[in-house]
Amino acid sequence: MCLGLAAAGNSRYTPYVILGLFGLYLYALSIRRRDLRVSLVLALVVFAVLGARPLNPRDARDNEHFNSGKRAWRECYLARHDIYECNVLTNFQIYPRPEEAHLQGKLDFLERNHLNLYDNSQ
């Protein structure tokens, strides 16, 4: 959350949040004290409803900027196969320190195995 809603709402974390809420819901149902059980289930429902509300305009713009930046970077990388050039051309970094993360090797692996951005089914 320190990075903002755009980062916190990253799709790769969503399944874990959903499973966590479901686990808390099941735990709440197992509580014997009715008042505590009802309170916890009600709190979970409130959090779930708050999480389902539409984004405010600023967060929606941030998400659109992030999505369009990723799309542009992907298209550039597929055409040029140069991380640093695509960072400059798209004015978007897919990863802040690509050499430390061995990003080129990972992208090469994806290309060899036709995975992720090289998956033609997208």
Does residue 44 sit in the same domain as residue 63? no
User: Above 60 in pLDDT, residue 122?
Assistant: no
Question: Considering the chain, what percentage of its residues have pLDDT values greater than 90?
Answer: 55
User: Above 60 in pLDDT, residue 6?
Assistant: no
Q: Which CA distances in Å does 24 have to 1, 34, 39?
A: 20, 16, 12
Mean pLDDT, residues 17-23: 86
Mean pLDDT, residues 33-45: 94
Does residue 61 sit in the same domain as residue 110? yes
Domain count, the chain: 2
Does residue 41 sit in the same domain as residue 70? no
Range of the domain at 37: 5-52
CB-side exposure of 4: number of CA atoms within 13 Å?
Answer: 10
Does residue 78 sit in the same domain as residue 93? yes
What are the tokens at 48? Answer: 């779930």
Task: Using the structure block, give the residue that is written with the tokens 């959350």.
Answer: 1
- Pairwise CA distance, residues 106 & 113, whole Å: 11
- Pairwise CA distance, residues 107 & 102, whole Å: 9
Does residue 19 sit in the same domain as residue 35? yes
Residue-wise pLDDT for 87-100, tens only, equals 999 999 988 899 99
Does residue 70 sit in the same domain as residue 113? yes
Whether 117 and 78 have beta carbons less than 8 Å apart is answered as yes
Residue-wise pLDDT for 67-80, tens only, equals 999 999 999 999 99
